[in-house]
Amino acid sequence: MVRPPASPNLVMIGFMGAGKTMIGKLVAQALGREFLDTDELVTQAAELPITEIFRREGEDGFRRREQNAIDEAVASPARVIAVGGGAVLSSENRTVLKQAGYLVYLRATPETLAIRLADVTDRPLINAVDRVGRIRDLLVARGPVYETAGDVAVDTDTITPQQAAEQIVHWYRDQVDQGRL
Ligand code: S3P
Determine the distance separating the centroid of ligand 1 and the alpha carbon of 59, expressed in angstroms.
11
Q: Is the CB of 39 under 6 A from ligand 1?
A: yes
For 2-145, where are the E strands, in sequence order?
A: 9-13, 34-37, 79-82, 101-107
Q: Is the CB of 84 under 6 A from ligand 1?
A: yes
pLDDT in tens, 142-177: 999 999 999 999 999 999 999 999 999 999 999 888
pLDDT in tens, 11-62: 999 999 999 999 999 999 999 999 999 999 999 999 999 999 999 999 999 9
> Do 130 and 31 meet the contact criterion of CB atoms below 8 Å apart?
no
Determine the distance separating the centroid of ligand 1 and the alpha carbon of 100, expressed in angstroms.
21
Spatial distance between the Cα atoms of 12 and 23, rounded to a whole number of angstroms: 8
Residue among 41, 36, 39, 44 at smallest CA distance from 10: 36
How would you classify the pairing of strands 101-107 and 152-155?
parallel
pLDDT in tens, 68-89: 999 999 999 999 999 999 999 9
Identify the H or E element spanning 135: helix 131-149
- pTM for the whole structure: 0.95
Spatial distance between the Cα atoms of 32 and 147, rounded to a whole number of angstroms: 27
Determine the distance separating the centroid of ligand 1 and the alpha carbon of 83, expressed in angstroms.
8
Spatial distance between the Cα atoms of 109 and 127, rounded to a whole number of angstroms: 19
Pocket perturbation via mutation, ligand 1, pick of 125, 134, 142 by most ligand atoms within 8 A of CB: 125
